[in-house]
Structure formats: structure tokens, C-alpha cells
Amino acid sequence: MPGGRPSSVPPTAASLRTPLRIMGVINVTPDSFSDGGKHLDPAAAVARGLALEAEGADVLDVGGESTRPGSEGVSESEELRRVLPVLDGLAGRTRAAISIDTAKTAVARAALDRGATIVNDVSAGRADEGLLPLVAERGATCVLMHMRGTPRTMQADPVYGDVVAEVQAFLGERAEAALASGVARDRIWIDPGIGFGKTAVHNLELLARLDELLALGFPICLGVSRKSFLSRVAEASGASPAPPEDRLGGTAAAIALGVRNGASILRVHDVAVMSQAARVARAIAERSVLRG
């Protein structure tokens, strides 16, 4: 692909020993790209979380602010209004770890107070300078994601010289910022930000060379579920456009390749199917390393 090399280095044995984790998505929003509005009611969101756990989710990722391309932000008070009843409703009813998908310190603090142990921040600690120190103080895990610009602007003609090298450099810098804030090294996950300020070609390049991010030494969280680039790739081969809920095949293929190239945390909407795809991909990868 332009700007890089095809991936040829298999994931290390150490990366394959990192446990697979399936992160189920709970969007408490009216405007998320895939399921906006379906779980805006707290009771529906709680029921969705329990269903995802029953399907095999290890983590439930609760978010009250859409980060789809072109989306506007919401106020702190509105985000809290959306997520707090869901967090309260899940408390004591699930064994899955709870993740809060937010870039706001106040929202993260309220979620951690209610039992969350993971803060999934699309800004990687840049939007609110208090977030990484809070994560450190609470001994929580943080997910640091690459995004160029903001959700409102990120898809406005993104250009890279080498997208993988630039994403790797950014994530390395943000991991160092987290460490400097006191976050424990084993509490840092990195996310290449598929679809966040990238074209379809950039997304494919990142997936093909995902193994290069393993050099940073942190578990890789991968979010490809139902994203529009999957439909664009299929359309380029003559398929009809597919709405988000009909992109399961493409999602499974991207997840399988991602796991083969070292991803160990998979953020998905369709837990049962994608858990199976991830675990088969891991089994294949382990066999190749053990015999390689």
C-alpha cells in the first residue's frame, strides 16, 4: 500500500499471551453512527449491557457522547445525565469490567465512583488535562486513542506521509504523558483510532501493519466494528452499499486480521460473533508462533 510496507512480521509470543478481551459497546446517545437512539433509555441500555455480557463481553464500554464523523460535542451535564443511570443500573448486576467512554475528567470521576475501572478516551488525555492524573490516582486503566483533529473535523481530507509511523509516534508520546502523570505501565492500552481522521486506505494500512505498534509495549485495543470503510472496501469490489448492521462479515474479517497482527482488546457491537472470530484468529496465530 502507498506510504508503507505490507506486514510480514508475526506477532510476538508475548503479545499472544496478552488475554483476549471483548469490549461490548453501549451507546447512550441519540446520534451514534450505528445504533444511535436504540439505548438512550437507561433501562434499554442496562438491558443491552447485560445481554452483551451474556454473549461473552469481558468489558462493557458505556458512552454518552457520540464521536462519529461530524458529530458535535455535548455538555458535561448532559453526558452525566445520560450515563449515570446506566452505570447505577449495571452496578452489582454484572461481572464484566465497566469502561467509561469519555474525554471529560468529571464524567470519568463519576463513573469511577460507580465502579468503572477503565477510561476510554478518544482524545488520549489531550481534551482535559485532569483526566490522566485522575486515572493514575484511582489506579484505573486508560485507553489512549489516536485521532487527528476532533470528531467534527477529523474527516476533512486527512493526509499522512506514513500513517502507521505517525500513529505509532503519537501513541508513544501519549503513553509517555500517561506514565508521567503516574499511570502504571500495565494500566495503559493503545488504540490506533480506525476511522478517526483516516481514509479507507489509511485504515487498511493500519490493519495490515498493526504489528508495528507492538513495539510500544502496550496492549492494542481495536475498534473496527460496523465502520463505514468496511462497506467502501466491499463496494470497490462491486458489492452494494451496506448499512452498519449489515457489515458483520467485514467486521469479522478486520478483527481476525487485527488479532493475527497483535490486537488483544476488541471493541464491538456484535459480541457473540466477533468473540468467535477473535478466538479462532488467536488460535491460528498461536499455532504459527509455536511452530514458527
Cα 279 to the center of its chain, rounded Å: 18
Instruction: Report the distance separating Cα 169 and Cα 238, nearest Å.
Output: 36
Other Cβ atoms closer than 10 A to 6: 8
Q: How many CA atoms lie within 13 A of 14 on its CB side?
A: 8
Instruction: Report the distance separating Cα 71 and Cα 74, nearest Å.
Output: 9
Rg over alpha carbons for the chain, rounded to the nearest Å, is: 18
- What single DSSP character describes residue 68? S
Cα 175 to the center of its chain, rounded Å: 16
**Active-site residue identified among 209, 260, 267, 282:** 267
Q: Which helix (H) or strand (E) holds 21?
A: strand 21-27
* Active-site residue flag, 267: yes
Instruction: Report the distance separating Cα 45 and Cα 205, nearest Å.
Output: 34
**Active-site residue identified among 109, 227, 232, 260:** 227
- Cβ-in-10-Å burial (0-12, 13-18, 19+) of 216 comes to middle
What's the grid cell of residue 35? 445504533
- Return all residues near 200 (Cβ < 8 A) that are at least 6 apart: 229, 232, 233
Instruction: Strands of 76-207 (E only): list them.
Output: 97-101, 118-121, 141-145, 188-191
Q: Enumerate the active-site residues.
A: 227, 267
